[in-house]
Chain A
Amino acid sequence: MKSITLTVNGQPVSGSVEARTHLADFLRGQMGLTGTHLGCEQGVCGACTILIDGQPGRSCIALAAACDGSDIRTVEGFDDDPTMARLRKAFSERHGLQCGFCTPGMLVTARDIVNRLDTPDEARIRHALSGNICRCTGYQGIVEAISDVVAETAAEKAPCGAPIAPLGRAAPDVPPPSFEVAERKDASAGSGAASATISKPVMRVDDDGWTVLTLVMKAEQPRTKLWEVMTDIPTVARCMPGAEVTAVEGDRIQGRLTIRFGPISAGFNGTLDQQVDANARRVVLSGEGADAKSGTNVQGQLTYALRTEAEERTAVDIEVRFKLTGPLAQFGRSGLVRDFTSRLSSDFAGNLGRLLAGEDIGEAQQRQLSVLALLWGVLRDRLFRR
């Protein structure tokens, strides 16, 4: 538990909260200030908007512990606020509410619009109000109420600093003069000058849900030498970012692939079966794994075949196939997965190239992705792109 001290609606308040308690729960549950409404609890709907240190903020995604020392104002705390008095009257007169659920957040945002923006027109008001969702009014009454108060206060308002320019950006009349771009030193050229080149991966999704990625790596090495390296699974695993071989028994390999995507991480534990076709110089690694946290299974197959291109040059055809099963299967099609898998494959090929060139690849930096993150990617699209 964390001890916090806040000023709430002008009164000093102390309390004890769990670190995970968000500010709205603290205000509603411990302070009894139920005027702050919780709609989505994901920072989307705006119902929980209150003033934190004088600025509107979402109380459902602000941790109470992170607001220690802050000055909080909720909808209950505006009795003496002249702008809010006008807004209350205007909302009533213009039918700016029906069920009232969004109203506490609407009022706090409306007050910010009136006080902060310099005589906003209807378009500007609608723009600034776009983070507060109302399912009853169609916004018309709310916008009219705010417009009324903007008009009432315009005359008496002291200029509020630099006027805020209108939205949008007009083109100038005259384009810039023509010029030649200065040469730049490219800082991005990393170490490990490749003794291997890698084609851009091509990706497709089969009808039966397998995502298939193909790429070609070319190494300046004779085929026999490359074959030696590529049939040594612990060595190959070292080139795979985030992969770890825990045991090898015959053709069966136990391992773990740790994947991270932003702040989320997951570990797939599983087994791989190795099939080596020495005549065709082809290795197929297939297996499956599960991420305990999300309860998701992934089946995957990595195939690589070596072809002699010239005496000292070998092409490696690489194919990565994977399939997510369960409710998250649809994410295999997501562009985010494609981008991630592409990078993972390129990293693998790049590390292999460096290894073949006799360079130390050290501990391959984990390329990490989790199905949870894919879930986030899709949820984010659904939540924020409605």
Chain B
Amino acid sequence: MKPVDFDYSAAETVDEALTQLSGADVKVMSGGQSLGPMLNLRLVRPSALVGLAATAALRRIEDASGAVTVGAAVRHAEFEDGKVPDPAGGMMQYVARGIAHRAVRTRGTIGGSLAHADPAADWVTTLTTLDAVLTLRGAAGSRDVPMTGFMQGAFTTALRDGEIIESIRIPKRSESVRWGYYKICRKVGEFAEAIGALVVDPGQRYCRVVMGATDGAPVVLDDFSRRLAAEGAAALSGLADTVRATLPDANPVSLRQHEVALRRAIQQVYPS
């Protein structure tokens, strides 16, 4: 239950982190709430860790006219405690409150969660629903990747070797925005079995329904989203078929869980 021997250094700047990351088998650690257990179990055996939790440039929070931009090392508890400006009707604050437990939220970071890309985690699904864009930074410079293209599968992202997430830009929604979020967990604070999430913004003509906690990346239900915006609760009649068509390999229990999570999330916006 003790990690292998490795070196550790906290990066004060992003450039410093990128330089350190160029070494062999060097891993990034932000809040360490997923990496910590994996280190203790020796599933991860790095030669060195670069600590990003206190890197000032990654702790920035910016409230601009069209979007809220947060640094990768902003912690879940900061969303929960209302320290991050709200881009979409309080959705992020609500979601943050349901991540693991308070003692995890005080240390775990949004960028760490995204980079880890556990399909059952909350932020990957939420930020896909909110159409967030990530700024990734590597030695060659920075590039923007939308959430829809960032997560490629379980624990797999568009991050290249030596690249880190610098910030996350979440577009601001209009006053008329509504959202729903429902996750099915066996016990409070556990990873989800299924997540249903949606953002409906008539003011921006934006509607996105997302199925999370699948075996891979969150799935944006594009056609269903269009139908839901146009037809409202009547679209729910096609939900089961949509879920089945989207997850052809899923077992019946999993299909049912995904359908129920989506239905309950949708009913938070469209009472029926």
Cβ contact of B271, chosen from A57, A131, A172, cutoff 8 A: A172
CA distance A173 to B267 in the complex (A): 11
Residue of A nearest to B247 (CB): A335
B106–A57 CB distance below 8 A:
yes
Q: Report A279 CB to chain B, min CB distance, Å.
A: 34
Residues of A within 8 A of B206 (CB): 181-182
* Distance (whole angstroms) from the CB of B118 to the closest CB of chain A: 8
B10 interface contact, C-beta 8 A: yes
A111 CA to B116 CA in the complex, in Å?
A: 31
Contact of A109 with B102 in the complex, beta carbons under 8 Å: yes
B100 close to chain A: CB less than 8 A? yes
- Minimal Cβ-Cβ distance residue in B for A127: B188
Q: How far is the CA of A372 from the CA of B43 in the complex (A)?
A: 6
B36 and A62 within 8 A (CB): yes
Contact A55 B77 (CB under 8 A): yes
The answer to whether B40 and A171 have CB atoms under 8 Å apart is: no
Q: Are A20 and B102 interface neighbours, CB within 8 A? A: no
B172 interface residue, CB < 8 Å from A?
no
Given the known inter-chain contacts A176-B178, A263-B27, please indicate yes or no for A19 contacting B7, CB distance below 8 A: yes
Is A173's CB under 8 angstroms from B106's CB? no
Distance between Cα atoms of A2 and B7 in the complex (Å): 9
Given contacts A20-B5, A169-B94, A187-B149, contact A264 B229 (CB under 8 A): no
Residues of A within 8 Å of B46, CB to CB, are 263
Q: How far is the CB of A170 from chain B (nearest CB, A)?
A: 8
A293 at the interface (CB under 8 A from B): yes
CA distance A58 to B37 in the complex (A): 11
Chain A residues, CB < 8 A from B53: 66
**B239 adjacent to chain A (CB < 8 Å):** no
Residue among A18, A62, A164, A380 facing the most chain B CB atoms (10 A cut-off): A380
Chain A residues whose C-beta falls within 8 Å of the C-beta of B207 in the assembled complex: 179, 181
| A91 CA to B186 CA, complexed, in Å | 28
Say which residue of B106, B216, B268 sits within 8 Å of A52 (CB atoms): B106
Q: Which of A43, A262, A365, A372 contacts B37 (CB 8 A)?
A: A43
Contacts of B153 in A (CB 8 A): 339-340, 343
- Of the candidates A66, A179, A380, which one forms a contact with B51 in the assembled complex, judged by CB atoms under 8 Å apart? A66
Known: A20-B5, A177-B202. A172 touches B178 (CB 8 A): yes
A373 pairs with B155, CB closer than 8 A: yes
Q: How far, in whole Å, are A158 and B111 apart by their CA atoms in the complex?
A: 34
Which B residues touch A187, using CB under 8 A? 146, 148-149
CB-CB < 8 A to A58: which residues of B?
33, 36, 103-104, 107
Stretch from B12-20, B62-70, B230-238 at the A interface: B230-238
- A336 interfacial contact with B, CB 8 Å: yes
Query: Complex formed: what's the CA distance from A56 to B119 in Å?
Result: 26
In Å, the complex CA distance between A52 and B105 comes to: 12
B41 touches A377 (CB 8 A): no
Contacts of A386 in B (CB 8 A): 186-187, 190
Q: Which of A16-33 contact B (CB under 8 A)?
A: 18-20, 22, 25
Q: Are B6 and A19 in contact, with the CB atoms below 8 A?
A: yes
Most buried by A among B39, B153, B232: B153
How long is the Cα–Cα vector from A99 to B201 in the complex, in angstroms? 53
Q: How far is the CA of A285 from the CA of B100 in the complex (A)?
A: 45
**B43 touches which one: A2, A170, A376 (CB < 8 A)?**
A376
Which of B32, B181, B214, B248 has the most A CB atoms < 10 Å from its CB?
Answer: B32
Complex interface: chain B residues within 8 A of A367 (CB): 156
- Note all chain A residues with C-beta closer than 8 A to B232: 175-176, 178
A225 within 8 A of B: no
Which of B119, B180, B205, B231 meets A182, CB within 8 Å? B205
**Please, what's the 1-or-0 string for B168-187, where 1 marks a CB less than 8 Å from any CB in chain A?**
00000000101011000011
Chain B residue at minimum C-beta to C-beta distance from A261: B155
Q: Are A171 and B267 closer than 8 Å at their CB atoms?
A: yes
A367–B156 CA distance with the chains assembled, in angstroms: 8
Min distance, Cβ B138 to any Cβ of chain A, angstroms: 14
Report how far A326 CA is from B59 CA in the complex, Å: 44
Q: Which residue of chain B has the shortest Cβ distance to A43 in the bound complex?
A: B37
B103/A49 in contact, CB under 8 A: yes
Shortest CB-to-CB span from B227 to chain A, Å, is 9
**Interface members, chain A 232-283 (any B CB < 8 Å):** 261-264
Instruction: Contact check, B205 vs A179: say whether CB atoms are below 8 A apart.
Output: yes
A contact residues around B188 at 8 Å (CB): 127, 130
Which chain B residues lie closer than 8 Å to A202 at the CB level? 249
The proximity string for B residues 216-259 relative to A, scoring 1 for CB distances below 8 Å and 0 otherwise, is 10000000011001111100000000000000111000100000
Proximity bits, A144-166, B CB within 8 Å = 1, else 0: 00000000000000000110100
With A171-B271, A177-B202, A187-B149 already in contact, the answer to whether A43 and B33 are too (CB < 8 A) is yes
Please determine whether A20 and B156 come into contact, CB atoms closer than 8 angstroms.
no
Q: Mark B20-42, 1 if CB is under 8 A from A, else 0.
A: 00000001010011011111110
Chain A neighbourhood of B29, CB < 8 A: 63, 66
Among B43, B148, B187, B230, point to the contact of A179 (Cβ < 8 A): B230
Please tell me if the beta carbons of B215 and A335 are within 8 angstroms of each other in the complex: yes
How distant is the Cα of A176 from the Cα of B44 in the complex, in angstroms?
47
Report yes or no: B104 in contact with A20, Cβ–Cβ below 8 A: no
10 pairs across A/B with beta carbons < 8 Å?
A: A18-B5, A49-B103, A58-B36, A131-B103, A131-B189, A167-B97, A171-B269, A180-B205, A262-B116, A385-B190
The 5 closest A-B pairs by CB, nearest first: A131-B101, A61-B36, A262-B155, A335-B215, A19-B8
- A residues sitting closer than 8 Å to B (CB atoms) are 2, 18-20, 22, 25, 41-44, 46, 49, 52, 55-58, 60-63, 65-66, 68, 109, 112, 116, 127-128, 130-132, 161-162, 164, 167, 169-182, 187-188, 200, 202-203, 261-264, 293, 335-336, 338-340, 343, 365, 367-368, 372-373, 375-377, 379-381, 383-386
Can you name 12 extra interface pairs (CB under 8 A) apart from A66-B32, A263-B46, A373-B155? A20-B8, A25-B2, A52-B107, A57-B106, A58-B104, A63-B32, A109-B103, A171-B270, A172-B178, A178-B229, A181-B226, A386-B190
